[in-house]
Amino acid sequence: MHTGQIIFTIGALGLLSFAILNLNTSINENDVSLAQNRYRLEALSLMTSYIEQANMYFFDEASTDTSSAKELKDFSLPNKLGFEANDIGEFDDFDDFNNYTKIDTGLSGVNYKVMFTVDYVKLQADTFAHSNAKEYNKRMTISITDAYSDPLLYRNFSGDKVRDTLKISFVNSYWFYN
């Protein structure tokens, strides 16, 4: 083997090593991205489950009596949304979720921190705005993040992992049919 062939062989091995290193880096980045998407999808599934659960409950404690229509004066005060004294820790109406926090485990075994807020809202210029008065519309906001010191749900910000929180809001309205 001549000197030129040796240099050519060393160069080819160097290029091959560089290509393998880049391939491994790319595969690792794809694995992290797939895991992130899996955790986000699982968190969104949990949120959807809670939306379905919340929609099963009455609009307000007053509306558990379905024999007659309720007026705004019958509903809970805005600063009293949450569990009522007679609830004994069990949900029976939509606003019982207010300020409720729970650690829930998805199918993957990841612990997610799920936080709920409920408030009255009114329609203003095609958007729902917070209201400090009783209304026929309540908005629930569900926030979810993971409960780990090294976050699983995160965004990269300046090379650092920054914990990410997924949020979804939906509105529940009171209707009475004769």
Per-residue pLDDT tens over the stretch 38-76: 888 899 999 999 999 999 998 888 887 777 788 888 888
* pLDDT class of 97 with cuts at 50, 70, 90: very high
Q: How many CB atoms lie within 10 A of CB 95?
A: 27
Query: Burial, 137: exposed, middle or buried (Cβ in 10 Å; 0-12, 13-18, 19+)?
Result: middle
CA 137-75-131 angle, to 5 degrees, is 45
Residue 11 has phi, psi (to 5 degrees) of -65, -40
Per-residue pLDDT tens over the stretch 119-148: 999 988 888 899 999 999 999 999 999 878
Yes or no: say if 100 and 89 are a contact pair by the CB < 8 Å rule.
no
What integer pLDDT is reported at residue 39 of this predicted model?
Answer: 86
pTM: predicted TM-score of the whole model, two decimal places: 0.79
> By three-state DSSP, how is residue 15 classified?
helix
Please state the domain extents for the chain. Answer: 3-173
Q: At which residue do the structure tokens 């290193």 appear?
A: 21
